[in-house]
Structure 1
């Protein structure tokens, strides 16, 4: 059974703070479900957007794990905002979490898959 999105996001925020970073929930979606998008901001102003990975990327041995894939890396803030507005129009239950992971690579905080 998959944990609720609310619990997943709460655990993510705590994990980031424990690693010495900072996280804030920019938009709360549905408590039980909803896609999670993570904006990872770097110290030099660069930003990367991570969204839900396609269903084909899930491991059969861990079907409940949430995975993320890079969507827009290095884009300016306006491009990320436009992309997130589009996602929110498509699914109003989305969650948006903004992260400054500090010295910890984002890949150590969320499971990232690339294709």
Structure 2
């Protein structure tokens, strides 16, 4: 792949969903964003328990990393809903993907970063 080429957001999300399914987990797209370059948020769960919300962000090496974002785990569920709604209003191209699999953060980091 040429140095300036990159995978689209839709391709990354598709790969993430397949990997999680192959591991026996569940992945669903809660909000479909821009196919090419939408920001990707991952809502991580383990057996239905909230692990956290992570955003794919560029790093200083020219690659990507996952950064925890949003309200702290265990906060009022309304706080998470409010945060997501605010993000969607400011960025309508945003993807939100829910992963319910052990080590969801690791799956996301290995696949989309």
With normalisation by structure 2, the TM-score equals 0.80
Between the two proteins, the alignment pairs up a number of residues equal to 104
1:8 aligns to 2:12 (yes or no): yes
Ranges in structure 2 where 5+ consecutive residues have no aligned partner: none
Runs of 4+ in 1 over 3 A off after TM superposition: none
| Alignment RMSD (CA, Å) | 1.9
Q: Distance in 2 between matches of 1:76 and 1:11?
A: 31
Of 54, 57, 61, which residue of structure 2 is paired with 1:59?
61
Ranges in structure 1 where 5+ consecutive residues have no aligned partner: none
Q: Kindly indicate whether the alpha-carbon contact (under 8 Å) linking 2:34 and 2:94 is maintained by their aligned counterparts in 1.
A: yes
Once the two structures are TM-superposed, the CA of residue 59 in structure 1 deviates from its matched residue by 2.4
Q: Kindly indicate whether the alpha-carbon contact (under 8 Å) linking 1:40 and 1:49 is maintained by their aligned counterparts in 2.
A: yes
Query: Hey, what does 2:41 align to over in structure 1?
Result: 37
With normalisation by structure 1, the TM-score equals 0.79
Structure whose residues are more often strand by fraction? 2
